[in-house]
Structure 1
Amino acid sequence: MTESPPDPGVSVPIQHLVVLGHPTAGSFNHSVARTYCETVRQCGQRAELRDLYAIGFDPLLNPGERRGAARTRLPRDVKQELGYLADSAIVTLIYPIWFGMPPAIIKGYVDRVFGAGFVARSIKEGSIDSALHGKRLMMFSTSASTRCWLEEQGQWLALRRAFDTYLATIFGMVRSDHVHFDSIVDGLDPRAANEALAVVREKTRAMCALLLQARHQHYAQHLMQRSTGPASAGAA
């Protein structure tokens, strides 16, 4: 009796798509992205970092890219990003909060990559037509102001509802966590920075463990279906 070959997906490292939106190479946001990617690799998983400013990502949505346009044709850069997206189990966005919202380059990534091929009527019909369906969504954000001040101004609640919750809902994603670091300014105390990065490592390890557990559960279900399939067919 020959054993069934293992699911090829089990041997492939879990991939994280990390999207960074900060223009300054030495920023704290870059440290968060670097720490996240390093921790992912230490956990035996894979991190694909897309530093949007560094790669010169164009955030402007061309009218021809919209689904339903007369000639819908995805540009090469969007196709490349969709390739990274397809191979990833989670999308992690890292960005500063400017004027109560993520930078324009992050919103442009959402418009051009997340929204590629998306049909708005899917929301009304309750059917998800998105390459993001089922993937996890994680956020790391920073602000110069305090979290308390953001909440007093209503900016924090607005951001969570208009960005985190809304994106996860319309694209059929699994919202996982939003980690925010406040009072991030030039000349940040190294001790405070190290404490914050320790939080990044902790959250990242927890996410890696969660993704691995989900994969094992999926594989167990896969094996169960294989083992019961032939028996069920014979009984029929």
Structure 2
Amino acid sequence: MPDTRVTSGPAPRCAIIVCHPRVDSYCASLAHKARDVAKECGFTPVVRDLYSVGLDPVPHARDLALHEGGARPAPDVEQELQILGSPTAVILVYPIWFGSPPGLLKCYIERILGAGFGGPGTVPLPASARPQLLLTIATSGASTDWIDKKGIAASAGRLFGAYLAGALAIGTAEHVAIDNVVPTMPPKRGEDGLSLVEKRVKAALLHLWQVQEKGLDHWETLPSPTA
């Protein structure tokens, strides 16, 4: 793939949010792969491990007042938003538990992403300050066929990301699903998942560079890369 990175000006930021309680989890490995690809593509990656950053996961009345336009963000929310630093791309890495993303990720979306990226009731950020890409990467211990039959693949993956991108005024949403992630999975299975994430993240971020170079205000849905 040709290098389409922009070389002038500060590097755009790519926020990688991983939500898994084990630091040695497969989700963590996928997040590290996304971080490495972001660097390769000319982005400044900002990795946030939700189980180690120490944020209060419980929404408070002050958070509701913020959405109603009557308060500033809580100190921990402001600090986290400063750390994220207006990323151009946001990547969420999480397991599917009980048919949905982990509750801690939902709370982070409500308290942090919803507060800083033009959530309900807040003043919308200008288009130049909004993330342009949301990429969700979800793992599941079940098979794709099983979670498709239950409707989980959509509700916890594709539709979840698409709805979130629309609510936060993010230009587009892409989704990567990796199934059959269990402790006994063959090493080849794990390697294939890492390779898929590498290809999809690279395709999305390099395409994002191309869109910026062309001066577009949106970008097309990416074709699925060949394995």
TM-score of the aligned structures, taking structure 2 as reference length:
0.81
The answer (yes or no) to whether the contact 2:13–2:85 under 8 Å persists in 1 is no
Partner of 1:113: 112
Among 12, 15, 32, the alignment partner of 1:14 is 12
The alignment status of 1:83 with 2:82, answered yes or no, reads yes
State the match for 1:203 in structure 2.
200
Q: Give the Cα separation in 1 of the matches to 2:57 and 2:85.
A: 20
Counterpart Cα distance in 2 of 1:51 and 1:93: 10
Q: For residues 48 and 119 of structure 1, do their structure 2 counterparts lie closer, same or farther at Cα, with a shift above 3 Å needed?
A: closer
Following the alignment from structure 1 to structure 2, what is the Cα–Cα distance between the partners of residues 99 and 119?
26
CA distance in 2, matches of 1:25, 1:15: 23
1:58 is matched with: 56
Q: Distance in 2 between matches of 1:133 and 1:29?
A: 26
Preserved contact between residue 35 and residue 201 of structure 1 (Cα < 8 Å): yes
- Show the counterpart of 1:41: 39
After superposition, where does 1:187-226 map in structure 2 within 5 Å?
187-218=184-215
**Whole-angstrom CA distance in 1 between matches of 2:28 and 2:158:** 25
| Identity percentage of aligned residues | 28
The structural deviation recorded for 1:53 is 0.5
Following superposition, the deviation at residue 202 of structure 1 comes to 0.8
d(CA) in 1 for partners of 2:62, 2:186 = 47
- CA distance in 2: counterparts of 1:179 and 1:161, whole angstroms: 8
Aligned length: 207
The structure with the greater share of residues assigned to helix is 1
Separation in 1, partners of 2:158, 2:192: 28
Change (3 A) 1:60 1:12: same
CA distance in 2, matches of 1:206, 1:71: 41
Query: 2-side partners of 1:44 and 1:121: how far apart?
Result: 34
Distance in 1 (CA, whole Å) between partners of 2:11 and 2:119 is 31
Tell me which residue corresponds to 1:165.
162
CA distance in 2, matches of 1:19, 1:96: 12
Q: Matched residue of 2:36: which SS?
A: helix
Give the Å deviation of 1:160: 4.3
Cα distance in 2 between the residues matched to 1:161 and 1:198 = 20
User: Do 2:34 and 2:197's aligned partners in 1 also have CA atoms closer than 8 Å?
Assistant: yes
- Partner residue of 2:100? 101
* Cα gap change, 1:68 to 1:24, in 2 (>3 Å): closer
CA gap 1:186/1:142 in 2 versus in 1, 3 angstroms: same
Return closer, same or farther for 1:158/1:43 CA change in 2, 3 Å cut-off. closer
Q: Deviations over 1:178-224 (max 9, x none)?
A: 001001011322111111111111112112211211222239xxxxx
Structure 1 runs not aligned, ≥5 long: 1-8, 123-127, 220-236
Match for 1:120: what amino acid? P
CA RMSD of aligned residues (A): 2.6
Q: Displacement of 1:121 after TM fit?
A: 5.8
Match of 2:225 in 1: none
Bigger Rg over Cα: 1
Residues 72-117 of structure 1, C-alpha deviations (whole Å, 9 max, x = no match): 2322221122224443101110000001110011001111012216
The verdict on how the C-alpha distance between 1:83 and 1:168 changes in structure 2, with shifts beyond 3 A counting, is same
